Amino acid sequence: MTDFLSGFATALQPVNLLYCFAGVILGNIVGVLPGIGAIAAISILLPLTFSLDPTTAVIMLAGVYYGAEYGGSIASILLNLPGTASNAITTLDGYPLARRGEAGLALLTAQISSFSGGTLGIVAMVVFSPLIVSFSLSFGPAEYFATLLLGLVAGASAIGAGPLKGIAMVAVGMLFGTVGLDLNSGYARFDLGIPNLLDGLSIVAVAMGLFGIPEVIANISASQSQEKPIAVNARAMYSAFRRLGTIVPSVLRGASVGGLLGPLPGAGPTISSFLAYSLERSTTRNPEEFGTGRINGVAAPEAANNAAAQTAFIPTMTLGIPGTPTMAIILGALMIHGISPGPQLVVDHPDLFWGLVASFWIGNVFLLMLNIPLIGVWARLVAVPRRFFFPVIVALVCIGVFGVSNSTFDIWMVLLMGVLGYVLRCFGFPPAPLLIGFVLGPMVEEYLRRALMISAGDYSYLFSSTTSIVIHCLTAGLLLWSILRGFRKKAPQPAG
Amino acid sequence: MKTLRDAGGGLLIATIGLLFLLGAGDMALGDLRNMGPGMLPTALSVVAIGAGLAIAVIEVLRGSGGAIGFDFRALVCVAVAIALYAVMLEAAGVVLTTIVAVFVLALARPQLRAAETLVVGIALSVFAWAVFVKGLGMPLSFLPDF
């Protein structure tokens, strides 16, 4: 607790406050705009943060991430179009509420639930992070290898497109990760004689190419529906305050679901919000009212996705294992700054870790204070024609990636990854497992080879501690579950 | 019309795996007790080829394809715009490159709104120059160097 309070000393420094504010505003904006997600925004912003202090950089990037969860609900409620994937479920009850003239109530519910969910997620992070750190400080290469393997399998099985597709994409991502100098032997792998490849593929180019460019290609020629978003002003929100009493249990349930699922590799805010909504339906006596505009149907998923957005940082920061592609990019940002997240980070750089956690709460307060009075502004932003955004994204991606190493080589890499990502997307292969494989792959190889070096090639060392056996069992269980789930899903439609 | 959607992706992944397998051919494998630099790439290539082919075979056997929404015109326009940045950015400066790229991107849409595109291009290039060159000090020029 005192650690957390001391984090405010870091987070309240003017420069950190400024970038936290900038991060949450940007996050809110990309959340409000359907079609641009936090992951694209964060990879575009990455080059801009290289000149910053690492703490400030991560505070800003994290702000974009959880800020998008706030903004995403606004588009869901006013336009029936989810701003980000994790706000999709909010359209079910949020839009009907807005249609019958209660947009103010729906928006206020979403904002208050987001804030409460985020706050509870931060509390969970403050309580559990030190426990995980003290437990994982004893991890050796075998335990790290086991945890990373769990992260890879979770990344492969979470996409819901079948385990084979996930494994194939993770393998390709890990292959991309092997490009460059091999640290153990000094051998240059797949460098094709190009000096730029010796350092490996740039995570900025890979992330921008896989997540930013395919989004542009898929949406650039789409004609936008002419439907006007529902008008709303701040007064409608203030007058709705007294009607919020009934959402308290929904918020608590939603935040619990999100807080528990957030740290799990591959689960994340989107799955949390869907589960919270179905849990909410199952706890009421008249579930048929859901979908017609119940504020509990807005409160639970919004509390869940914000809680999950905060607790997702627990494994990323304390173990160095990102559960979602966005976390993989934030991990990559830290590594570019020469900081490798893990238990040692929390011990060696408590100001960074606790400053970040404290900034989360400050950012959540900023978002609440921004969104309620300024709701009219955000509502108008929903209506901006989206054709204006695509050239902006392409320009920011290309010039931004040039700045990483002041070379046009990375722009070509973005082009290659963008075309690959778009083609794979058209074939129904989501890019998230590829990025997770790309980030975790080199770490898996390093720990495996280090473990084998310690044990002189004896594989039983990998299973020599209770911790690693338990983690390997989890991995095997997860793999089995995703295979079985694949069979069950296909069963009702055998003829296809 | 039923297309072999998964199979296409599976074959693409198998091809990527094959390219990496060929590239890993001259790396020292080592053995399982003491891995060389080629061990993991070779193993991963085999996994990618195997999984990719398995996806393709399963879909051909099941015959359960989905529709592919492939926008070739948008793909070409976006790809050309990115390539323009790669080719022109250092020599032609931020403004000219961005305006040309914005016009190429506008060709992806059914009708070209020339005036609007020009305004977007100018505003965007000035914004990009202010952020990246003035703000972040990137070594790029505003206009072409003659």
Q: Kindly list the residues from chain A whose CB atom is less than 8 angstroms away from the CB atom of residue B78.
A: 213, 216-217, 220, 394, 418
Q: Is the pLDDT of residue A318 over 60?
A: yes
Q: Kindly list the residues from chain A whose CB atom is less than 8 angstroms away from the CB atom of residue B34.
A: 452-453, 457
Task: Give CA–CA dist A264/A107, Å, rounded.
Answer: 29
Q: Supply the DSSP string of A4-35, one letter for each residue.
A: HHHHHHHHTSHHHHHHHHHHHHHHHHHHHSTT
Which residues, numbered 39 to 78 in chain B, qualify as contacts with chain A under a Cβ-Cβ cut-off of 8 Å?
40-41, 44-45, 47-48, 51-52, 54-55, 58, 62-64, 66, 68-71, 73-75, 77-78
Mean pLDDT of A29-57: 84
Q: Is the pLDDT of residue B2 over 60?
A: no
Q: Which residues contact A261 (CB under 8 A, 6 or more apart)?
A: A267, A268, A271, A272, A275, A304, A308
Q: Kindly list the residues from chain A whose CB atom is less than 8 angstroms away from the CB atom of residue B100.
A: none
**So what's the pLDDT on residue A226?**
58
Q: Is the pLDDT of residue B109 over 70?
A: yes
Q: Kindly list the residues from chain B whose CB atom is less than 8 angstroms away from the CB atom of residue A441.
A: 44
> For the segment A60-78, what is each residue's pLDDT rounded down to a tens digit?
999 999 999 888 899 889 8
Q: Is the pLDDT of residue A52 over 80?
A: yes
Task: Give CA–CA dist B127/B119, Å, rounded.
Answer: 12
Task: Give CA–CA dist A247/A251, Å, rounded.
Answer: 6
Helix, strand, coil in percent for chain A, rounding step 5: 75, 0, 25
Angle at B75 between CA B71 and CA B78, to 5 degrees: 140
The answer to whether the CB atoms of B24 and A418 lie below 8 A apart is no
Task: Give CA–CA dist A226/A362, Å, rounded.
Answer: 37
Helices of type H across A46-102: 54-79, 90-99
Confidence of residue A488 (pLDDT cuts 50, 70, 90): low
**So what's the pLDDT on residue A496?**
30
| Residue scoring higher pLDDT (A160 or A59) | A59
- Kindly report the backbone phi and psi dihedral angles of residue A180, in degrees, each rounded to the nearest multiple of 5, phi listed first: 115, -175
Share of chain A above pLDDT 70, in %: 95
- Which chain A residue lies closest to B117 (C-alpha atoms)? A388
Specify which residues B30 forms β-bridges with: B35
Q: Kindly list the residues from chain B whose CB atom is less than 8 angstroms away from the CB atom of residue A174.
A: 40, 44
DSSP class of residue B70 equals -
> For the segment A147-193, what is each residue's pLDDT rounded down to a tens digit?
889 888 887 876 666 788 889 999 999 999 999 988 778 888 998 88
**So what's the pLDDT on residue A376?**
83
Task: Give CA–CA dist A342/A335, Å, rounded.
Answer: 11
- Which chain A residue lies closest to B4 (C-alpha atoms)? A427
The answer to whether the CB atoms of B131 and A48 lie below 8 A apart is yes
Confidence of residue A364 (pLDDT cuts 50, 70, 90): very high
Task: Give CA–CA dist A400/B143, Å, rounded.
Answer: 18
Question: What is the least distance, in Å, from the CA of A479 to any CA of chain B?
Answer: 15
> For the segment A392-402, what is each residue's pLDDT rounded down to a tens digit?
889 988 988 88
DSSP class of residue A335 equals H
Mean pLDDT of A333-357: 87
Among A399, A40, A264, which Cα is nearest to B138's?
Answer: A399
Q: Kindly list the residues from chain B whose CB atom is less than 8 angstroms away from the CB atom of residue A213.
A: 78, 82
Task: Give CA–CA dist A102/B92, Å, rounded.
Answer: 53
Q: Kindly list the residues from chain B whose CB atom is less than 8 angstroms away from the CB atom of residue A220.
A: 74, 77-78, 105, 108-109
The answer to whether the CB atoms of B40 and A174 lie below 8 A apart is yes
**So what's the pLDDT on residue A227?**
64
**Structure tokens, A265:** 């590799």
Element (H, E) at A305: helix A295-311
Task: Give CA–CA dist A325/A207, Å, rounded.
Answer: 9
> For the segment B115-136, what is each residue's pLDDT rounded down to a tens digit?
889 999 999 999 988 888 887 7
Tell me which residue has tokens 């966005």.
A326
Averaged pLDDT of chain A: 86
> For the segment A423-477, what is each residue's pLDDT rounded down to a tens digit?
998 888 888 889 889 988 888 998 898 898 888 888 888 888 888 999 899 889 8
- Which chain A residue lies closest to B110 (C-alpha atoms)? A221
Question: What is the least distance, in Å, from the CA of A43 to any CA of chain B?
Answer: 15
**So what's the pLDDT on residue B70?**
83
* Amino acid sitting at position A408: T
Contact A414, A420 (CB under 8 A): no
Q: Is the pLDDT of residue A34 over 70?
A: yes
Task: Give CA–CA dist A381/A280, Å, rounded.
Answer: 31
Q: Does B34 touch chain A (CB under 8 A)?
A: yes
- Cα separations (Å) of A455 from A33, A416, A451, B3? 53, 40, 6, 50
Contact A326, A66 (CB under 8 A): no
The answer to whether the CB atoms of B105 and A220 lie below 8 A apart is yes
Q: Is the pLDDT of residue A262 over 70?
A: yes
Question: What is the least distance, in Å, from the CA of A208 to any CA of chain B?
Answer: 12
> For the segment B65-93, what is each residue's pLDDT rounded down to a tens digit?
667 778 889 999 999 999 999 999 988 88
Q: Kindly list the residues from chain A whose CB atom is less than 8 angstroms away from the CB atom of residue B82.
A: 213, 394, 397-398, 411, 414-415, 418
The answer to whether the CB atoms of B74 and A406 lie below 8 A apart is no
**So what's the pLDDT on residue A492?**
44
Q: Supply the DSSP string of A425-463, one letter for each residue.
A: HHTT--SHHHHHHHHHHHHHHHHHHHHHHHTTT-GGGGG
- Which chain A residue lies closest to B74 (C-alpha atoms)? A217
Of B52, B106, B125, the CB nearest to A168: B52
Q: Is the pLDDT of residue A274 over 50?
A: yes
**So what's the pLDDT on residue A436?**
86
Among B117, B107, B110, which Cα is nearest to B76's?
Answer: B107
Question: How large is the C-alpha radius of gyration of chain B?
Answer: 23
Q: Kindly list the residues from chain B whose CB atom is less than 8 angstroms away from the CB atom of residue A422.
A: 75
Total Cβ atoms within 10 A of residue B50: 16
**Structure tokens, A176:** 């991309």
- Which chain A residue lies closest to B79 (C-alpha atoms)? A415
The answer to whether the CB atoms of A172 and B94 lie below 8 A apart is no
- Cα separations (Å) of A195 from A190, A343, B26, B59? 11, 34, 19, 41
Q: Is the pLDDT of residue A358 over 70?
A: yes
Element (H, E) at B16: helix B5-23
Classify the phi-psi angles of A440: left when phi > 0, otherwise alpha if psi is within -120 to 50, otherwise beta. Answer: alpha
Q: Does B3 touch chain A (CB under 8 A)?
A: no
Confidence of residue A494 (pLDDT cuts 50, 70, 90): very low
CA B107 to chain centre: 19
Question: What is the least distance, in Å, from the CA of B143 to any CA of chain A?
Answer: 15
DSSP class of residue B133 equals I
Name the residue ranges covered by the structural domains of chain A.
Answer: 2-489
Task: Give CA–CA dist A485/A208, Å, rounded.
Answer: 31
Of A48, A411, A428, the CB nearest to B9: A428
Q: Does B114 touch chain A (CB under 8 A)?
A: no
Q: Kindly list the residues from chain A whose CB atom is less than 8 angstroms away from the CB atom of residue B70.
A: 426
CA atoms within 13 A on the CB side of A230: 23
> For the segment A216-239, what is each residue's pLDDT rounded down to a tens digit?
898 887 766 556 777 777 777 787
> For the segment A103-119, what is each residue's pLDDT rounded down to a tens digit?
889 999 999 999 999 99
Does the predicted interface ipTM exceed a cut of 0.90? yes
Strand, coil or helix: what is B31?
Answer: strand
Task: Give CA–CA dist A304/A128, Å, rounded.
Answer: 18
Task: Give CA–CA dist B84/B86, Å, rounded.
Answer: 5
The answer to whether the CB atoms of B47 and A399 lie below 8 A apart is no
> For the segment B43-70, what is each residue's pLDDT rounded down to a tens digit?
999 999 999 999 999 888 887 666 777 8
Tell me which residue has tokens 């790809």.
B79
Q: Is the pLDDT of residue A211 over 60?
A: yes
Q: Kindly list the residues from chain B whose CB atom is less than 8 angstroms away from the CB atom of residue A424.
A: 9, 12
Pick the residue of B20, B78, B98 with the most A CBs within 10 A to test the interface with A by mutation: B78
Q: Kindly list the residues from chain B whose CB atom is less than 8 angstroms away from the CB atom of residue A392.
A: 124
**So what's the pLDDT on residue A491?**
46
Task: Give CA–CA dist A307/B75, Å, rounded.
Answer: 37
The answer to whether the CB atoms of B78 and A217 lie below 8 A apart is yes
**So what's the pLDDT on residue A464?**
86
Pick the residue of A169, A398, A452, A453 with the most B CBs within 10 A to test the interface with B by mutation: A398
Mean pLDDT of A295-312: 93
Task: Give CA–CA dist A168/A1, Å, rounded.
Answer: 43
Q: Kindly list the residues from chain A whose CB atom is less than 8 angstroms away from the CB atom of residue B111.
A: none
